[in-house]
Amino acid sequence: MLEGMIVAGEDTMAQSRKQGAETLYQQAFTQSLQAQALLDEQGRWLELNAALRALLGEGQAPGQALSLSLDPQPDWDELLAQLRAGAVLRQLPWNFRLADQELSTLVSLQALSGSKPLRILLSLQVLPEEGGDGIRDELTGLAGHALFMDRLQLALTRSRRNKTAVAVMMISVDDYAPRLAARGQAQADELLRQVASSLRDSVRRSDTLARLGGDVFALILEEVGTSLEAITLAAKICDSLDQVRDLQMPQGVSIGGVMAHADSTPWDLIRRADEALREAQRHPGHAYEMAF
């Protein structure tokens, strides 16, 4: 009798641990800033997290066949066999064709351990060459807000795995609003294009440069050796903007930068960089402020 009670108790605890793990996983899936989805064995959507819905829109409804929106269409039976064998499929080049846009992506697939029936986790990374709302800024050609946040989440993941540093900068054209009011939209737009071009020439090819909206640009620097390297780049950016004759910015640009901590999240870094930017804007001319 006692033995039966012990076994029953162990079963209850095991079930409780399983339910707890499932709850934690569900929270991580829902709140993740990386675009993810759960698929069934036929490759149909079961659930999309908010980050993926923001990229694909509402056209991808649960139950829709995955292959209907992909190019090239994958051999699902072959993929399923590999997943059942425990393989993790990474960097699959798939194009999502939607009504108003086409996204070029890299997709990773992984079967969830112990799930019956089989459930598959899809993680999606948008390639920066593609357009779309929040993916590519139409005015400057830089990454947009959604792509920037996707890149920042991936950069933080890589930094923790490789034990490297990540820095984030926000860059603002201080006299943009008065210029817009005084000279009109066309000249204000040209100013932003010139700033974007100057910034692009100042950063490494491996860095992610984006326009978040209005006169605010953002930059992700991966594998930063020290905070001094980030400060040196901020100074280089200021110097490069001085060389652009048509900018004529008496108020200059302001740069706010932060170094990521071990527990940093994308939104935490954006908040801290924005605070550093506001501090830099208190000083006239080109100015930068680094927070640690």
Rounded average pLDDT over 74-95? 84
Predicted confidence at residue 104, as pLDDT, reads 72
- Residue 215 pLDDT class (50, 70, 90 cuts): confident
- Across 40-44, 103-107, 218-222, 246-250, least confident range: 246-250
Whether residue 270 lies inside any domain: the answer is yes
Whether residue 280 lies inside any domain: the answer is yes
Whether residue 4 lies inside any domain: the answer is no
DSSP 8-state code for residue 65: B
Same domain assignment for residues 281 and 237: yes
Model confidence over 176-200: pLDDT tens digits? 666 666 677 787 788 888 889 989 9
How many separate domains does the chain show?
Answer: 2
Mean pLDDT of the chain: 76
Final residue before a domain boundary, out of 93, 126, 159: 126
Whether residue 10 lies inside any domain: the answer is no
Predicted confidence at residue 30, as pLDDT, reads 67
In this predicted structure, the answer to whether residue 66 has a pLDDT above a threshold of 70 is no
Same domain assignment for residues 190 and 222: yes
- For the whole model, what pTM was predicted? 0.57
Same domain assignment for residues 62 and 190: no
Most confident range (mean pLDDT) of 57-61, 104-108, 132-136 is 104-108
- Residue 251 pLDDT class (50, 70, 90 cuts): low
Domain housing 80: 35-126
Whether residue 13 lies inside any domain: the answer is no
Same domain assignment for residues 173 and 266: yes
Predicted confidence at residue 181, as pLDDT, reads 62
Predicted confidence at residue 209, as pLDDT, reads 93
Residue of higher predicted confidence among 30 and 218: 218
Same domain assignment for residues 192 and 264: yes
- Residue 144 pLDDT class (50, 70, 90 cuts): confident
Which token pair is 107? Answer: 């997709």
Final residue before a domain boundary, out of 94, 126, 158: 126
Rounded average pLDDT over 11-19? 47
In this predicted structure, the answer to whether residue 242 has a pLDDT above a threshold of 70 is yes
**CATH number of the domain where residue 220 is located:** 3.30.70.270
Cα distance between residue 263 and residue 251, in whole Å: 35
Which token pair is 87? Answer: 């393989």
Same domain assignment for residues 153 and 205: yes
Whether residue 281 lies inside any domain: the answer is yes
Model confidence over 21-39: pLDDT tens digits? 444 445 556 666 667 888 8
Residue of higher predicted confidence among 129 and 207: 207
Phi, psi of 248 (to 5 degrees): 45, 65
Whether residue 134 lies inside any domain: the answer is no
For tokens 């910034």, the residue is: 199
Same domain assignment for residues 64 and 195: no
Burial class of residue 114, CB neighbours in 10 A (0-12, 13-18, 19+): exposed
Model confidence over 89-115: pLDDT tens digits? 876 778 776 655 667 777 888 888 777
Same domain assignment for residues 163 and 286: yes
Residues with Cβ < 8 Å from 152, sequence gap 6 or more?
33, 168, 208, 220, 266, 269
Same domain assignment for residues 161 and 241: yes
User: What stretches of the chain adopt beta strand conformation (E)?
Assistant: 35-39, 45-48, 70-71, 89-97, 102-111, 120-126, 166-173, 208-213, 216-222, 253-259, 287-291
Predicted confidence at residue 20, as pLDDT, reads 43
Cα distance between residue 210 and residue 290, in whole Å: 19
Same domain assignment for residues 121 and 218: no
Predicted confidence at residue 64, as pLDDT, reads 61
Same domain assignment for residues 83 and 159: no
Percent of the chain with pLDDT over 90: 9
Residue of higher predicted confidence among 291 and 100: 291
Same domain assignment for residues 68 and 158: no
